[in-house]
Structure 1
Amino acid sequence: VAAWSDPAVWEGEIDLGGSTSPASEIAAMLFEETALHTWDVARATGQEFRLSDAAAAHLLEVVDGSAELYRQYNGFADEVTVPGSASVLDRALARSGRDPHWSRA
């Protein structure tokens, strides 16, 4: 997380071995993957997962930008319905196809 606070991480192009992609897109994807899969592991092991309000808002923005593409490749399940009063984190989880209230019983 500390590395992502350096503005240079979000600038320039990343060589992907034959093509390039904006560093900001790669950093956002890595943040999204880390946050969502950390939530998955936390829920599966009965642990709490929290993000700051700012990080949750960024996650929601990234999920909103990638959800449809990920669904085309079965990376995300269909969006889960949550109430309008759901937290920003719960909305991001739901839009990524995760049920924010799921827990391993």
Structure 2
Amino acid sequence: MARRAAWGAPGAEEGTSGATGLPARTVGSMVPRDLTVHAWDLARATGQPYEPEAALVGVLVAEFGALAPTARRMGMSGEPVAEGAAPFDVLLALTGRGPGWTPQR
């Protein structure tokens, strides 16, 4: 609970965070990104539908899309998807996932 309150404090998303030197906003966005993408992993692997909140996906795509060129050079991001792809497909690709992936049956 204290961490959630800390991220809600005025100015929490300003500056950089720790030794990584990443913007604090980026670090704060990592948890919802991971939860959103791992929920897709689980849903896809078990054949369940999953549709994350569009507003959240938009924020995450903007946040991590800006870092994508650097992340790709570092081997930490996947290749971009086709122009006009759905925002969630863009986010999945940013995390190295194939939006069309399905488990082998």
Residue 94 (structure 2) pairs with residue 62 (structure 1): no
* Whole-Å separation in 1 of the counterparts to 2:40 and 2:10: 24
Structure 2 residue runs without a partner (length 5+)? none
Aligned residues: 99
> Cα RMSD over matched residues?
3.1
Partner amino acid for 2:32? F
C-alpha change, 1:74 and 1:40, in structure 2 (3 Å) is farther
- Tell me what 1:92 maps to: 91
Structure 1 residue runs without a partner (length 5+)? none
* Whole-Å separation in 1 of the counterparts to 2:99 and 2:47: 13
Q: Structure 1 length normalisation: TM-score?
A: 0.66
- Tell me what 2:40 maps to: 39
* Whole-Å separation in 2 of the counterparts to 1:57 and 1:22: 18
* Whole-Å separation in 2 of the counterparts to 1:28 and 1:62: 8
Partner amino acid for 1:27? G
Q: Which moved more, 1:91-100 or 1:56-65?
A: 91-100
* Whole-Å separation in 1 of the counterparts to 2:38 and 2:88: 13
The Cα of 1:26 is off from its aligned counterpart by: 1.1
Partner amino acid for 1:57? G
State the structure with bigger RCO (CA 8 A, min sep 6), 1 or 2: 1
Partner amino acid for 1:68? P
Q: Structure 2 length normalisation: TM-score?
A: 0.66
